[in-house]
Amino acid sequence: MQNIFNKIFGTSQAQKFFSPGRVNLIGEHTDHEGGFVFPCAINLGISALAQPRTDDTIRLYSMNFDEGAFTPFEIKIDEIKSKSEIRTWVNYPLGVVNVLKNHGYKFGGADILYNGNLPGGAGLSSSAAIEVLTGKIFSELYKLNIDGVKMARFSQEAENNFVGMNCGIMDQFAVSMGKKNCAVLLNCSTLEYSYAPLELENFKIVITNSNVPHSLAGSEYNLRRQQCEAALADIKTKKEISCLCDLTPNELDEFSFSIADPVNLKRARHAVSENARAIRASEALKAGDLNLFGRLMNASHVSLRDDYQVTVPELDILASLAWKLDGVVGSRMTGGGFGGCTVSIVENNSVENFKNSIGADYERLTGRKADFYVIETSDGAGKCK
Ligand code: GLA
């Protein structure tokens, strides 16, 4: 990577940075409804080499997207106004630089080379990874002293306002604040968080990529959010709450009559039940009850399939194949849905069988090949030591 940096930018003063991706264990589509999420940062991610410049030009190059071109994308900080239609990947870093500038931070230019091993479009947060990574690079190069929680918020702001994807805070938070050997229990309405040790000695976290590219920026994600908002507005006519996840499942049941549209009620039921599951699952983990944790993961998938309706047949097939296998504690789709990955907790000595058996059955049933990543947890984004 250093050779390529020298070839493109002509110097070798670069510092090395890494940002993980994330996998969410449970608490899906609760972040935008003020609920709990339970993700961890993973050891697949994006590396970067970066150096400050003496002018205010930013030069960006991706070994994943710009292959063979060897000409970096170049822009002056003050000229960042709207999205690039040509090299669309640069919109994520540009968005973050723009947000930092709008918040009044003063900094100069930089040369940055990115190289990732996170599969794109798989729902493992490559967008959040490059956003937080870029923010942390500028914070480090120009001593901006931006803490990890603030950086997560700035990155979310970039994605919402510059990229135009109305995501919640989970991905950026997990990528910024993740901790090795831990999952992060985050309350998305207060941003209070705690780390839960993931002591999975005899188990592995296995991510299975359906290789159906997810299209979150598409209208479905925003539509689900609108349906939840409509349900919230209906309930508010009968009960004072500030977000859907203020409700327990029993309370939602009690006020379900106030939600006019049955589809909106299903969306609300998912958010509220998933929030309760996320809390219960984190407690089960603390108490060492991995089997309960696994059953809650399975229940999460069912709710995402039937009430929130963001799975696709391929994800349902992957989850139900996993549920039938010995040595699988739990399995569910992870991330926004409409393609992407499942996450499963699998006994160490069942991992090979998991890959072989699910790989073969999935291909037979769908005609697609699945990819498997047996991941480790990771620290959040930052400068490499
Ligand atoms: C995407 C969004 C997150 C979150 C998940 C679903 O990953 O970026 O904010 O809403 O979907 O849990």
Taking only the tens place, the pLDDT of each residue in 3-27 is 999 999 987 779 999 999 999 999 9
- Residue 202 tokens, joined: 């005899």
Strand partners, 164: none
Q: Which residues of 307-330 are buried (b: 16+ CB within 10 A; e: fewer)?
A: bbbbbbebbbbbbebbbebebbbb
Residue with tokens 């996320």: 278
Separation in Å, CA 351 to CA 44, 199, 208, 304, 354: 19, 17, 12, 25, 5
pLDDT of residue 215: 67
Does 135 reside within a domain? yes
Number of domains within the chain = 1
Residue 344 maps to a domain: no
CATH number of the domain encompassing residue 93: 3.30.230.10
User: For residue 164, how many other CB atoms are within 10 A of its CB?
Assistant: 12
Does the Cβ of 33 fall within 6 Å of ligand 1?
no
What is the torsional sign of CA 63, 67, 68, 74? negative
CA dihedral for 282, 285, 287, 293, sign (positive or negative): positive
279 inside domain: no
Q: What pLDDT digit, counting tens, does each position of 144-174 carry?
A: 999 999 999 999 999 999 998 899 999 999 9
Q: Is 270 in the pocket of ligand 1 (CB under 6 A)?
A: no
Domain that includes residue 150, residue range: 2-197
Using the atom order of ligand 1, give the atom closest to the CA of residue 27.
Answer: 12
- The structure tokens listed for 78 are 């003050």
- Residue 171: active-site member: yes
Q: Biggest alpha carbon distance in the chain?
A: 66
Structural domain contains residue 250: no
- Residue 367: inside a domain: no
For residue 218, the model assigns a pLDDT of 63
Q: Is 246 in the pocket of ligand 1 (CB under 6 A)?
A: no
Number of H helices, E strands in the chain: 11, 12
Domain-located, residue 52: yes
**Mean pLDDT for each 10-residue chunk of the chain (385 residues)?**
91 90 98 98 98 97 85 95 89 98 98 95 94 98 98 97 94 98 98 94 97 76 95 98 98 98 98 98 95 98 98 97 98 96 98 98 98 98 95
Ligand 1 atom having least distance to the Cα of 168: 9
Q: To test the ligand 1 pocket, which listed residue (171, 172, 176, 221) has its Cβ within 8 A of the most ligand atoms?
A: 171
Ligand 1 pocket residue status of 178, Cβ below 6 Å: no
> Could you tell me if residue 224 is inside a domain?
no
The CA 245 to ligand 1 mean position distance, Å, reads: 15
Atom of ligand 1 nearest to the CA of 159: 8
- Give me ligand 1 centre to Cα 166, in Å: 9
Are 304 and 271 in contact by the 8 Å Cβ rule? The answer is no
171 within ligand 1 shell (Cβ under 6 A): yes
Catalytic residue among 171, 234, 246, 307: 171
User: 216 CA distance to ligand 1 centroid (A)?
Assistant: 9
Q: Confirm whether 289 is domain-assigned.
A: no
- How far from chain centre, in Å, is Cα 228? 20
Q: Is 339 in the pocket of ligand 1 (CB under 6 A)?
A: no
28 lines ligand 1 (CB under 6 A): yes
